[in-house]
């Protein structure tokens, strides 16, 4: 029995060894086949890519790389040249209007005169204007420390309530004049002549900036303003004139182009637009700049929304 058992065990061991050997042989053959297939596929792919891909381009030199892609730490300050603030290449009948923010616009004439409306310390222009207009409602509409390089600083309020500011400035191809209006004080009173509606006569266009207007206009004020082709209007409906009053003013001015300003986010703006669309067409611009001329004014009044706050 002991001998027979030994023979059986030996036979089983031999069988197991044979099976293991066969399995290893099969695995080796499979691995070799897979390796060959992978190498063949890689070779074919490389050949195909070599036929379809262009030759590699040499990397740019160090200087070019730093200029076009400065990375997280620039080697030098990047040059800022926004298209809207390059020297205006305008026709003699054109004016460029750029919404900087709040109530500040940059107005550019054909002879490259630059005007900033409601110039202040908070909403900064990327260029120094030749002319700056200001209003006295609060500090986002004026500054006591204008850039000394500005040639003409026109404050929209006078020395006293009895002496309103009166401006009639002519510089190159620009005329700037004003019509004084009143403003509310924080205590609920009235500051006489604390605001001015500035009118810019450029390239046969009359462009009116209403400033921080707090009341509707009398017929005498409307007559003094005269014809308006473009009007920049505060539309917040709270700090300035309420929406009913603003709609009355804009209807009386009859400007073909109305540009909203002085709104504090899209919700405030949409409140105005909801009212305005009952009366006028609404257009939303993609850029904060627009070039206008007498020939391109809309045939019927239109509200043009320039991006920004």
User: Predicted confidence band at 309 (pLDDT cuts at 50, 70, 90)?
Assistant: confident
Q: Residue 119 to residues 124, 135, 155: CA-CA distances in angstroms?
A: 8, 8, 10
Domain that holds residue 26: 1-52
Tens digits of residue pLDDT in 165-211: 999 999 999 999 999 999 988 888 899 999 999 999 999 999 999 99
The answer to the question of residue 81 being in a domain is no
If asked whether residues 170 and 25 sit together in one domain, one would say no
Q: So what's the pLDDT on residue 52?
A: 37
The answer to the question of residue 77 being in a domain is no
Q: So what's the pLDDT on residue 138?
A: 85
**DSSP element (H, E) containing 48:** helix 2-52
Residue 299: phi and psi, rounded to 5, are -70, -30
If asked whether residues 172 and 299 sit together in one domain, one would say yes
The answer to the question of residue 103 being in a domain is yes
Tens digits of residue pLDDT in 205-249: 999 999 999 999 999 999 999 999 999 999 999 999 999 999 999
Cβ atoms of residues 109 and 93 within 8 Å: no
For 278-283, which contacts have Cβ atoms below 8 Å and span 24 or more sequence positions?
A: 279/247, 279/251
CA distance 62 to 170: 51
Q: State the average pLDDT for the chain.
A: 80
The answer to the question of residue 194 being in a domain is yes
The answer to the question of residue 59 being in a domain is no
Structural domain total, the chain: 2
pTM of the model: 0.72
Torsion sign across C-alpha atoms 125, 128, 133, 137: positive
The answer to the question of residue 37 being in a domain is yes
Q: So what's the pLDDT on residue 87?
A: 56
The answer to the question of residue 82 being in a domain is no
User: Predicted confidence band at 159 (pLDDT cuts at 50, 70, 90)?
Assistant: confident
């Amino acid at each position: 029995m002991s001998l027979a058992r030994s023979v059986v065990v030996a036979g089983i061991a031999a069988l197991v060894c044979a099976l293991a050997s066969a399995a290893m042989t099969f695995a080796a053959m499979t691995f070799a086949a897979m390796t060959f297939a992978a190498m063949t596929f890689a070779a074919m792919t490389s050949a195909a890519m070599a036929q379809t891909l262009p030759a590699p381009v040499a990397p740019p030199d160090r200087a070019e790389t730093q200029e076009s892609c400065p990375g997280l730490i620039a080697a030098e300050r990047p040059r800022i040249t926004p298209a809207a603030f390059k020297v205006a290449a305008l026709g003699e009948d054109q004016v460029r209007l750029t919404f900087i923010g709040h109530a500040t616009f940059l107005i550019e004439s054909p002879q490259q005169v630059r005007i900033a409306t409601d110039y202040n310390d908070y909403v900064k222009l990327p260029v120094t204007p030749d002319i700056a207009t200001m209003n006295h409602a609060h500090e986002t509409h004026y500054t006591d420390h204008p850039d000394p390089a500005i040639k003409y600083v026109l404050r929209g309020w006078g020395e006293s309530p009895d002496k309103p500011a009166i401006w009639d400035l002519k510089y190159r191809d620009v005329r700037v004049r004003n019509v004084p209006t009143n403003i509310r004080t924080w205590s609920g009173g009235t500051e006489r002549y604390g605001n001015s509606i500035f009118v810019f006569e450029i390239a046969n266009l009359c462009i009116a900036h209403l400033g921080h207007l707090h009341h509707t206009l009398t017929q005498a004020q409307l007559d003094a303003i005269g014809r308006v082709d473009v009007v920049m209007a505060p539309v917040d409906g709270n700090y300035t004139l309420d929406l009913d009053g603003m709609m009355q003013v804009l209807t009386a001015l009859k400007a073909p182009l109305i540009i909203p300003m002085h709104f504090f986010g899209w919700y405030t703006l949409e409140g105005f637009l909801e009212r305005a669309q009952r009366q006028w067409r609404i257009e939303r611009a993609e850029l904060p700049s627009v070039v206008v001329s007498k020939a391109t004014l809309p045939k019927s009044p239109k509200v043009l929304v320039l991006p920004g706050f």
